Amino acid sequence: MAELGVVLAQLKAERAKLDKAIAALSSVGGKSSGGGRSTRRLSAAAREKIAAAQRARWAKFKAKKAR
């Protein structure tokens, strides 16, 4: 059972080292990289242009289907 205590102490020490390393890297990198997508903003004009193109696609699809 004493061996388990030694292993546990070693793991806690290793975790403390890793926490320090993570904190150091986080402060250097600025923003943390979440791994997700970056947010890109579209202007209102761009959104309207895309919406108009999609409406045209749907109109073409529905016209073809109605025949």
- Residue 63 pLDDT level (bands cut at 50, 70, 90): very high
Between 10 and 31, whose confidence is greater? 10
What separation in angstroms does the CA of 12 have from each of 7, 18, 21, 23, 55? 9, 10, 14, 16, 59
At residue 16, the pLDDT reads 95
Count of positions (residues) in the chain = 67
Task: Give SS3 for 55.
Answer: helix
Q: What is the mean pLDDT of the chain?
A: 88
> Does the pLDDT at position 30 exceed 80?
no
At residue 45, the pLDDT reads 97
At residue 55, the pLDDT reads 98
